[in-house]
């Protein structure tokens, strides 16, 4: 029985899907127009770290306050 269902599903699936539009990404690789300096890299990584870890650190530091409110 499962073989019959598998065969029916395999033949019916393309018909039920219809015509699909295939999308192709236009990705081009080239060297950077301007080089990014080490200071800019450090600043960018610092800001990214603060944006990700800052809220988590705030919650962990104030965990006892949140427990008292509940």
Tokens 């499962």 correspond to 2
Tokens 């599903």 correspond to 9
Which pLDDT value is given to residue 12? 75
Helices then strands, each counted (H, E), the chain? 3, 0
Estimate to the nearest angstrom the gap between the alpha carbon of 60 and the chain centroid. 25
Which pLDDT value is given to residue 1? 67
Tokens of 7: 């065969």
Tokens of 37: 């300096």
pLDDT in tens, the chain (70 residues): 678 888 877 877 776 776 667 778 888 888 888 999 999 999 999 999 999 999 999 999 999 998 887 6
Spatial contact of 39 and 47, defined as CB atoms under 8 Å apart: no
Which pLDDT value is given to residue 59? 94
Which pLDDT value is given to residue 54? 96
């Amino acid at each position: 029985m499962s073989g019959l269902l598998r065969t029916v599903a395999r033949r019916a699936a393309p018909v039920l899907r219809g015509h699909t539009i295939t999308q192709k990404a236009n990705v081009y690789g080239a060297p950077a127009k301007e080089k990014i300096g080490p200071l800019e890299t450090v600043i960018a990584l610092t800001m990214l770290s603060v944006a990700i870890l800052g809220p988590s650190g705030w919650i962990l530091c104030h965990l006892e306050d949140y427990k008292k409110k509940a």
